[in-house]
Structure 1
Amino acid sequence: MTYRLDEIDRRIVHALMEDARNTSAPMIAEGLNVSAGTVRNRIDRLEEAGIIQGYTATVDFERAGGRLTSLYMCTVPAAERERLALAAQSIPGVVNVRVLMAGRRDLQVVAVGNDTRDLREIARSLSELDIQIEDEELVQTEIRSSYAAFAPEGASPSEEATGLVTLGDGTEVFEVAVSERAPIVGTSVGDARGDGLLSERVILISIERDGQIVQPSDETVVRGDDVVTLIPQDVPKDEALEAFLESDRAP
């Protein structure tokens, strides 16, 4: 069942995504002109609904003893996705598993090891579960920020991309929240490419929509509030993102 967030809910989620550790209910309440008790009750409801699923630390594993972080892009049988995702999560060293809805590379696994030997052992453990590893990359940098669409109205986002990973070979992976009035909204990926809205050199990895992860195809129609993960291949970041943003917000 979908839980519909109102403006207060969205502002609470935005504040907690920015800095949950140093953000109190009274601080959030002050910006919303509501009581701290109201904010606490809303947070409880968001937790009970499964929207806020926890509060975690973002760790730089390279600084924590020079550890390596690897991203495994895997393919599993559609009927086995959930089971194999849980099995992969149980492997020592695995810190994150993402399940995509369709197609190849429908399982993304992030793991941490002391050295390449540890990462090879994790890869072997994945293979023993009949998880087919299509590609593997060392993660160089990961940056997260709050969801811009939940920011106070009129706020100027410091960065259109809501997340960024830089792989070991320097490839940048961006996540961008699609604006309601972006040029690409209501257009299929294939038509957007044909019309010149979206370069063939911008690779769409996934779309987060209504709490689900969709693997985009040429027939996929982009909606406002989708969160798109993409890789610009020899395309400037500004050019890669402009189709997903309102013209006055485009970089």
Structure 2
Amino acid sequence: MSHPETDYRIDDIDRCILYALMQDGRKTTATAIAETVNVSGATVRNRIQNLEEQGIIRGYTAHIDFERTDGKLTNLYLCNVPVPEREALAQKARTIPEVINVRTLMTGRKNLHIVAVGEHTNDLQRVSRTLSQLGIEIEDEDLVEDEFFSPYSSFSPDDDQRTHEPNDFISLTGQANIMKLTVRSEAPITGRTLKEASDNDILDENTLIISIERDDRELTPHGDTVVQSDDIVTVLTQQHTDGTVFKVFQGSDIETVVQ
């Protein structure tokens, strides 16, 4: 299924939220995620809503062991369809009552995977006939014994190998860059006003904060503006100071990825 193009880029907080929801979307609360990510529960709820609106979180589904529900059978059909008709046929397959999952693949003959549930083999044979009538060629099929799910490890908050990079990055002429960075709780600037950061040499004259995004608001920075954890700051900086800027907004343990 195609989705609208979006310029939205997830950051470390979004990744941690997605990881937690993939672990257990039903039992994981915004408060529990907030404790792990070190932000407020309101921030987590706002982030989840934004991820839903952007189409990144596409839904919440229960994973059911159908064999334990009166011994029902789960069957996987590996199908081949013409590429121009792939999405349309996938949508038609979804209308079959027994079908619970449809997956389209970019390449290969088996470019459409369909999962269906039935009480008896007759039910699954009826699904096969219906798929054929729709013009979907079944290359292979088999009963599903079990299925396992795991959260995407690169989104884990415990992934020490992950480099922390800017939400956005623009290189300008004249050896200058514009970066978007998410402020971390351990950063030197967190909890300070911009004036305090400047007076204490945390911010230097080569770094200019253009804007601050906080929850659903965009703030115009002033000297008395307090920088908070989870703020998304847009920064104009000289290229040779990029490493220092990362430390200011994200802490001294950050591995700089911008060269």
Task: Please classify the TM superposition score into its range, dividing by the shorter chain length.
Answer: 0.5 to 0.7
Amino acid paired to 1:5: I
Provide closer, same or farther for how the CA distance between residues 155 and 124 of structure 1 changes in structure 2, counting only shifts above 3 A: farther
* RMSD of equivalent CA atoms: 1.3
C-alpha separation in 1, matches of 2:160 and 2:138: 42
Provide closer, same or farther for how the CA distance between residues 54 and 141 of structure 1 changes in structure 2, counting only shifts above 3 A: same
Deviation per residue, 1:112-155 (Å, 9 max, x gap): 00010000000000000010000001000011121111111347
Report the Cα offset of residue 87 of structure 1. Answer: 0.3
| 3-state SS of paired residue (1:109) | strand
1:19 maps to 24
| 3-state SS of paired residue (1:143) | coil
Of 97, 105, 110, the residue aligned with 1:105 is 110
C-alpha separation in 2, matches of 1:32 and 1:91: 42
C-alpha separation in 2, matches of 1:155 and 1:94: 40
TM normalised by structure 1 equals 0.60
Residues 1:45 and 2:50 are matched in the alignment: yes
| 3-state SS of paired residue (1:79) | helix
Q: Which runs of 5+ in 2 are unaligned?
A: 162-259
Amino acid paired to 2:122: R
2:77 maps to 72
Q: Which runs of 4 or more aligned residues in structure 1 lie more than 3 Å from their structure 2 counterparts after TM superposition? A: 153-156
Q: Which has the higher contact order (CA 8 A, sep 6+)?
A: 2
Residues 1:150 and 2:141 are matched in the alignment: no
C-alpha separation in 2, matches of 1:22 and 1:154: 22
C-alpha separation in 1, matches of 2:105 and 2:83: 10
Report the Cα offset of residue 105 of structure 1. Answer: 0.7
2:61 maps to 56
Provide closer, same or farther for how the CA distance between residues 117 and 155 of structure 1 changes in structure 2, counting only shifts above 3 A: farther
Report the Cα offset of residue 16 of structure 1. Answer: 0.5
| 3-state SS of paired residue (1:152) | coil
| 3-state SS of paired residue (1:103) | coil
- How many residue pairs match? The answer is 156
CA contact (8 A) 2:80 2:136 kept: yes
Report the Cα offset of residue 103 of structure 1. Answer: 2.4
Provide the identity percentage: 57
